[in-house]
Structure 1
């Protein structure tokens, strides 16, 4: 899977989990997430992590997660790609 595919799949999961609708499609790699999307609260982060683990077949430990992981859509996709490698 290439970076663009990972980004697209993470965008789709994020859009579904947060119910962003058409606004989700406008997100790109540089789109800020944490602190910029009111929908992305602590419960949504937990739900999103579960969805990422299930979709990509990865395990995400609490120690793996930091604010920088959720800084932008691109940083989140890069994190997922690294975990799936």
Structure 2
């Protein structure tokens, strides 16, 4: 494929990424909890969110969307991991 032509699949993946992560599903993070993340990750996340000024994504919404997908994708694995290590007491 020529370097001058855009790959349509690549554009679809970018659009999917924005749809999955760079959208505000909740109005505010005010009811959430404080968490600490590495300074370098915080800087990266802020830079990504700042690129979405038109969509008005917030850092809270971005992190929430990442976690939502993580738990949806790995929920069964997390449950299996937990159940293998914590057997019922009775």
TM-score, normalised to structure 1, is 0.26
Higher-Rg structure is 2
TM-score, normalised to structure 2, is 0.25
Taking CA–CA contacts closer than 8 Å with sequence separation of 6 or more, which of the two structures ends up with the larger relative contact order?
1
